[in-house]
Amino acid sequence: MPRIGDTAPAFTAESTQGTVNFPADYVGSWVILFSHPADFTPVCTSEFMTFATMQEDFARYNTKLIGLSVDGLYSHIAWLRTIQEKMTYRDMKNVEVTFPLIDDVSMNVASKYGMIMPGEATTSAVRAVFVIDPAGLVRTILYYPLALGRNFDELLRIIKGLQTADEFDVALPADWRPGERAIVPPAGSCGVAKDRMSGEDTDVECVDWFFCTRDLPEETIEKALTER
């Protein structure tokens, strides 16, 4: 199983959108690679409808989606057609899934990414999420059990947060949302710490020398992340 900071394992696989060569097909993009337990299951159906509905939201931040389960290609196609033609969830209906859903009957990709957890299921992938940056590095890993659907607001917040941290050289506090204050790197010297605590650095507010924040308006973040 890859860890945060590792290079994401490469693979070639068939999908509902043709052959996927990862990461070669996704150079320069952020990627959310996620697994689901099985086609024609209710929690997975609600998740795929949500992913598809939010696809443009992720694309706004240069992020592409790749789904995976250990079902075959024909099962995937039939399930996605059923979603579009029959399924309604919340205010979503007639939802077309246009991102690739990988055929992984061999469990090759699932095994490379540690998506099979025998304590939960030996023949199904758990609800894993890997956020991979344009350099092909794993930046976030999430695992959900079979019975619990993912929090999609959090997935989008992760994308915005990682890109904000990279773009502005900041860290982000608990429950951060775009527009809230960001944490600046700790002072690297006594002199910098003194300047911060004395108020000489007017762009930074400090509670103590190690906990300092700066204003980072949402419009500044949006401009930086979406107009590149």
60 pLDDT above the threshold of 80? yes
Averaged pLDDT for residues 19-31: 96
Q: What domains can be seen in the chain, in order of their start residue?
A: 11-150 (3.40.30.10), 169-226 (3.30.1020.10)
pLDDT at residue 118, as a whole number: 82
For the stretch 184-198, pLDDT in tens is 987 666 677 677 777
How big is the chain, counted in residues?
Answer: 228
For the stretch 205-226, pLDDT in tens is 988 888 999 999 999 999 999 9
Percent of the chain with pLDDT over 90: 81
For the stretch 92-147, pLDDT in tens is 999 999 999 999 999 999 999 999 888 887 768 889 999 999 999 999 999 998 89
Provide the sign of the torsion angle of the four alpha carbons 215, 219, 220, 226, taken in this order: positive
pLDDT, the chain, mean: 93
- Other CB atoms closer than 10 Å to residue 95's CB: what's the count? 21
**Distance in angstroms (rounded) separating the CA atoms of residues 84 and 64:** 20
Percent of the chain with pLDDT over 70: 95
38 pLDDT above the threshold of 90? yes
| Nearest Cα to Cα of residue 30 among 68, 64, 66 | 64
Per the CB < 8 A criterion, the answer to whether 151 and 133 are in contact is no
Strands 18-22 vs 11-15: parallel, antiparallel or unpaired: antiparallel
- Other CB atoms closer than 10 Å to residue 101's CB: what's the count? 25
79 pLDDT above the threshold of 90? yes
Question: Active-site residue among 44, 190, 206, 212?
Answer: 44
Give the C-alpha distances (Å, rounded to integers) separating 41 from 38, 44, 123: 6, 6, 15
Averaged pLDDT for residues 53-59: 98
CA 197 to chain centre: 36
Confidence of residue 168 (pLDDT cuts 50, 70, 90): very high
Confidence of residue 1 (pLDDT cuts 50, 70, 90): confident
pLDDT at residue 188, as a whole number: 64
Beta bridge partners of 101: 67
127 labelled ligand-binding: yes
Residue 44 appears among annotated catalytic residues? yes
Per the CB < 8 A criterion, the answer to whether 198 and 190 are in contact is no
pLDDT at residue 190, as a whole number: 67
